[in-house]
Amino acid sequence: PCTARPSRVPAVVKNYFQLREFSFTLRDDVYLRFQSFSSPQELERELQKINPYKIDIGAVYSHRPNQHNTVHLGAFQPQEKELVFDIDMTDYDDVRTCCSSADICSKCWTLMTIAIRIIDRALVEDLGVRHRLWVYSGRRGVHCWVCDDAVRKWSPALRAAAVEYLSLVKGGADTVKKVTLSHPVHPFIRRSVDVVEKYFEEYALLGQDILGSPEKWDKVLALIPEDILPSRSCSKKDSVQRWELLRARVERSRPGGRAAAQGPCYADWEVMLQFCFPRLDINVSKGLGHLLKSPFSVHPKTGGWGVWGVWGSPAPTPAPVHSPNPPDYKKTSLAPYVKVFEQFVEGMECARRGEKIRQSDLQGDF
Amino acid sequence: MEFSSRERQKLWRLAGDRRDQYPHSLQFYLEPPTESISLVEFESFAVDRLKLLKVVENLGVSYVRGTDVYKTKLAGELRKLKFPYRALAEDDYEARRKDHISHFILRLAYCQSEDLRRWFLQQEMDLFRYRFNELTGGLMQKFLEHVNLSFEAIGEDLKNELANELSASTPGFSLPKVKEQMFYKVGLADAVDLFRARRVYIKDGFAYVPFKEIDVIVLNNYRTKLSKALALTARSLPSIQSDERLQPLLNHLSHSYVGPDYSVQKNTGKISLDQIDALSVKSFPLCMRQLHRALRDSHHLRHGGRMQYGLFLKGIGLTLEQALEFWKKEFIRGKVDADKFDKGYAYSIRHSYGKEGKRTDYTPYSCMKIIMSNPPSQGDYHGVKCTNTVIVRCPFRHSDPELLKQKLQSYKISPSGITQVLELVKGMHYQLACQKYFELTHDVDDIGFSLNHPNQYFTESQKLLSGGRELKKEFNNSGSFQQKNNSQESINSSSTPTSSNAKTDTELEELEAYFTED
């Protein structure tokens, strides 16, 4: 709960805003990096003046980014940045049949929902994160911005480690089996499987119909070890029933059904994970200098707004046309999204104020 | 001696203070020493630690870290050099103080470049890992508390609550094993590798690490701290380097050779010129053998090669007169006329014997110096005959491995031996490769010493061939830093000749006889 004290205590490190890098993409793909501003008002003026197609947000640096050329080589360094994740639908092309590349539909959007639920749970329960914001990237995926103080200071190595902790799908186009589990199964994996379970029937068996035809059936069987493999000719009628059959076979084999050296078989989980588990791009998360599209910016190619995904719903519709007198956003369809954003920021400010007050109390300042 | 009770208390306090200063046999080197120290101690501490770190490096290549033989040898070296070698709980003050001070001195020398930092960090970590693992459980706990590695051991209740999760998360930990081992709550930043690989239970931003993985975490912590400290030290280096007493020392530490310098020879004049061909095959290290061959073939060497080879010959005992005769004969065959030789090259040879100019007696190059010099330039010899100029530095370092292989084959080294040599070269262990070359050409299993200097190679070879090899090598080190172009007095002015390379007259006579039999 937030105490109603006046905010005499400064919210952030001095100069925080001035040290933040923004980048603008203009018409004709002109790209301007290392933009920085003395105040939010200055940023607003600049935006109105040059009207960029895309705005990216980068790190908070040791010096004002727009003066980085005047700084001694090596002294200009990123100091902190939100931990970000980027989940892109094209990374799932090998396991979705409804769409490919930049297309998305309500059927495959479920993959984003699953990804958000799995990762969000892990962020909160495993990594102890409190302040995170999920945003539709405007085109074909979602971004997550993790804003906890401590996490903003994480090194590239620690960020990379987090991505690896959250990764289970390994291998590229030439890898058939992308998920392999061994016993004992880590709680992170087990809890992720629990999430996938909730969506698997509707998404994979009905929506994607992954066992609906001999070709599709073969693709799945390719992931099952030979000793558990059912016969190809199957009397069952549909994906749901076929999955039941497969599932039952694997589960039966688990307690002691295989040679000790092989260990219990988790092929059913492996299939579920290969089709549904989130696929992260480590390069987006690893570096402090990496720039990510700002929430609320319009995607240059789709016109879609970058706003947080409402759970389970498809992409928001294209943006209102830019006009010299933009309507008050509270009266547009953006209003609910802005409210959520405000609440998110309020939550962080509250926590920060609470922490600062606690600290100043400890020091006996009144 | 009678003490009043007050005096007794004071003594106790002093002794207690000493103990308090170094309560453990190892440390994180967080606080630099604040006492005053003599230059002599400064230098000798630094040299000893450098020797230790080089041993650590060599042992790490020759043996698997953590095996009994590795541990025994390292313990022996620590003991010999008077560093803490046992995880004693009680007073080991002098050794610990030396450990403390020497570490900080070497930081000054080894912070100066990326390569040096990396080397220093690697050896210090290996040393730390060894010493940490030698601690008993109780001492380890105390040490961790002492360095404020806030790894709380989780209480029994919590552990029971989490037992299934811990067992499922931690490879090799069945439920019973979980119950019996301690688990620690560690921040994610401290347990990056375990976190990344999902080999521990992660909850609420913490990793739950079993006792047996704690040493990895402690090591990472140590590495991070030391790495940062080195970077910081590098920034404050200019002010240290301006101290005239320290600057030459520090400059040399990172390039130093810490053995005998072969500058004062007791065996001068004991080698005759016509022995050199045979000696070059039997007792010269590969670099000198190749330089000699190159000189014989082309009747010329460029300046660098002349220095490297010439000083080596001086080190094995050639007098100035012999040297002048040797080089002149060869150069004349190379169409350099006698007059030109006398005016130019002869001056340079006399110069290197300290008879001209500054009259500094130049010292033969150590392996370190040869390996780390600039690579040969255009027209230099890489094992391929050039028409005029030839120069070789360290063939293990500077030759193309293919050419090196061919050369070794031409010397009739066994294929398996060549493979071993090339493996070491690939791992950048040039001196170890030369040691292997020694073993192969002398047909011994173990070279028996740590090779640092071409003249040492020669001395040891001669010793072995004359049957006079001692089992244990004791070098009497003056530890002084002989500077090439410095007319200042060296810091430790006792330039005592070393006992090991001094040959008795009888030994040399036998040697001559041995060679003339060929």
pLDDT single digits (tens) B151-188: 778 889 999 999 999 999 999 999 999 999 889 999 99
Task: Supply the pLDDT for residue B355.
Answer: 78
Residue B496 DSSP symbol? P
Task: Supply the pLDDT for residue A51.
Answer: 87
Contact criterion met (CB < 8 Å) for A125 and B168: no
Taken in order B403, B404, B405, B408, is the CA torsion positive or negative? positive
Task: Supply the pLDDT for residue B86.
Answer: 80
Contact criterion met (CB < 8 Å) for B195 and A161: yes
Q: Cα B361–B362–B363 angle (5° rounding)?
A: 120
| Strand bridging mode A132-136 / A141-146 | antiparallel
Q: How far is A298 from chain B (nearest CA, A)?
A: 34
| C-alpha span between A61 and A80 (Å, rounded) | 7
| A189 contacts in chain B (CB < 8 Å) | 198
Q: What is the pTM of this model?
A: 0.61
Q: What is the pLDDT of residues B339-352, one digit of tens each?
A: 888 888 888 888 88
pLDDT: which is higher, B120 or B153: B120
Q: How far is B188 from chain A (nearest CA, A)?
A: 8
Q: What is the pLDDT of residues A119-165, one digit of tens each?
A: 999 999 999 999 999 988 877 889 999 999 999 999 999 999 999 99
pLDDT-derived band at A302, boundaries 50, 70, 90: low
| C-alpha span between A42 and A14 (Å, rounded) | 17
Q: Is B386 annotated as a binding residue?
A: no
Residue B450: CB atoms within 10 Å: 16
Mean pLDDT over the full length of chain B: 79
Contact criterion met (CB < 8 Å) for A161 and B202: no
Q: Cα A16–A21–A22 angle (5° rounding)?
A: 125
Instruction: Indicate if the pLDDT at residue B480 is higher than 50.
Output: no
Chain A residues near any Cβ of chain B (below 8 Å): 125-129, 150, 154-155, 157-158, 160-162, 164-165, 184-190
| Strand bridging mode B152-153 / B183-187 | antiparallel
Q: Which residue from B minimizes the CA distance to A154?
A: B189
pLDDT: which is higher, B83 or B23: B83
- Active-site amino acid positions of A: 21, 86, 88
Indicate the angle between helix axes A187-200 and A267-276, nearest 10 degrees.
Answer: 70
Q: A273 vs A143, A190, A199, B275, CA distance in Å?
A: 21, 11, 12, 76
| C-alpha span between B477 and B480 (Å, rounded) | 8
| B196 contacts in chain A (CB < 8 Å) | 160-161, 164-165
Contact criterion met (CB < 8 Å) for B167 and A184: yes
pLDDT (average), residues B60-66: 80
Contact criterion met (CB < 8 Å) for B189 and A160: no
The shortest CB-CB distance from B198 to any of A157, A160, A188 is to A188
**A152-156, A280-284, B58-62, range with the lowest pLDDT:** B58-62
Q: Cα A133–A139–A144 angle (5° rounding)?
A: 20
The shortest CB-CB distance from A125 to any of B196, B197, B203 is to B203
pLDDT-derived band at B387, boundaries 50, 70, 90: very low
**DSSP secondary structure string, B109-152?**
HHTSSHHHHHHHHHHHHHHHHHHHHTS-HHHHHHHHHHTT---E
| C-alpha span between A253 and A183 (Å, rounded) | 14
Contact criterion met (CB < 8 Å) for A161 and B193: yes
- Tokens at residue A315, please? 């992409």
Which residue, chain included where needed, has tokens 């087990």? Answer: A190
pLDDT: which is higher, B88 or A187: A187
| C-alpha span between A175 and B212 (Å, rounded) | 36
| B203 contacts in chain A (CB < 8 Å) | 125-126, 128
> A29, exposed or middle or buried, with CB in 10 Å at 0-12, 13-18, 19+?
exposed
| A131 contacts in chain B (CB < 8 Å) | none
pLDDT-derived band at A53, boundaries 50, 70, 90: confident
Contact criterion met (CB < 8 Å) for B202 and A157: no
Q: Which residue from B minimizes the CA distance to A161?
A: B196
- Tokens at residue A192, please? 């992720």
Q: Which helix (H) or strand (E) holds B46?
A: helix B39-62
| B205 contacts in chain A (CB < 8 Å) | 127-129, 150
Q: How far is A156 from chain B (nearest CA, A)?
A: 11
Instruction: Indicate if the pLDDT at residue B495 is higher than 70.
Output: no
Mean pLDDT over the full length of chain A: 82
Q: What 3-state DSSP class applies to A66?
A: helix
Q: Is B367 annotated as a binding residue?
A: yes
Instruction: Indicate if the pLDDT at residue A251 is higher than 90.
Output: no
Q: How far is B229 from chain A (nearest CA, A)?
A: 17
**B21-30, B148-157, B509-518, range with the lowest pLDDT:** B509-518
Contact criterion met (CB < 8 Å) for A164 and B203: no
Instruction: Indicate if the pLDDT at residue B425 is higher than 50.
Output: yes
The candidate with the shortest Cα–Cα distance to B90, out of B148, B139, B150, is B139
Contact criterion met (CB < 8 Å) for B167 and A129: no
Q: Which residues, other chains included, contact B492 with Cβ-Cβ below 8 Å and sequence gap of 6+?
A: B40, B43, B478, B479, B480, B481
Whether B401 and B425 have beta carbons less than 8 Å apart is answered as yes
| A161 contacts in chain B (CB < 8 Å) | 188, 192-193, 195-196
pLDDT (average), residues A195-211: 93
Residue A305 DSSP symbol? B
Q: What 3-state DSSP class applies to A238?
A: coil
pLDDT-derived band at A8, boundaries 50, 70, 90: very low
The shortest CB-CB distance from B198 to any of A150, A158, A186 is to A186
